[in-house]
Amino acid sequence: MAAPRFTAACIQMRSGRDVLKNRDAAVALVREAADKGAHFAQTPEMTSLISRDRADLFEKIGPQDQDPVLASLREVARERGVLVQIGSLAVKDGDKVANRSFLIDAKGEIVASYDKIHLYDVDLPNGESWRESATYTGGDTAVLAETPWGLLGMTICYDLRFPALYRALAENGASFLSAPAAFTRQTGEAHWEVLHRARAIETGSFMISAAQGGLHESGRETFGHSIIVDPWGRVLAEAGTEPGVILAEIDPALVTEVRGRIPTLKNARSFKVAIALDPQPLGRAASA
């Protein structure tokens, strides 16, 4: 029996330094999504707090069982009978922080969690410098979560640039893939949509990714453009830069249809890599 269609919502935010204010914004937007018919609602990476100050971050976070955003979103999931994916929260993990995503079922129970595997360490041409590894601890396990409509592959932000992760999730049964994010404006303008369409096409999966958008209190500027893409690579819904909700109807049967037409998951073969070295460097004449 085919899985039923459902309505997915991406919750776009502009999280600041006030955890409780961010919590209230997330709760209000999830309720709005549910009122508009969403069965599944996803918030962005760092739903609870965006701060570039490490001391400020550590002062305002704690272990997940004490996180007020997690507790409130569990309650709203139970209240409205919707699945809620928290794109990620910063939670204490020893002397570092875990960038952790949660899937909450319609009874308010945590059914899965995922720690971001790939950490964003970079120096950008505009002078911005990011060293996630200085503060965050990377995960080491890809996670598939069961939903009423099929398996959801959970990833976060920078993971989007590593296609092997998405292929592994799809090969293990994922029909839906998510990459909730806080992409910078510059990289988002260049790559956000094309990477989502590529991951969807490569795996024959839906991509559902909520994002942070706009200029934050910390001075960081994020791209926004929360997006839902179908397995054929078509954009079903896309936001701008302002906080709000986007929705799209998801037909799980389309995953089977597209994978049947372009069976890349089945047709993949293992291979070796050979490096053929030219014994005659270019521009150098052979000896007579």
Q: Which residues are part of the catalytic machinery?
A: 45, 116, 157
Q: Please choose, from the candidates 131, 112, 113, 109, the residue with its C-alpha nearest in 3D space to the C-alpha of residue 122.
A: 131
Residue 94, phi-psi category: left (phi > 0), alpha (psi -120 to 50), beta (remainder): left
Report DSSP state, residue 205: -
Residue 98: CB atoms within 10 A of its CB come to: 23
Single-letter amino acid code for the residue at 130: W
Crossing angle for the helix pair 185-203 and 163-171, to the nearest 10 degrees: 30
Q: What are phi and psi of 174, to 5 degrees?
A: -65, 130
Report DSSP state, residue 233: S
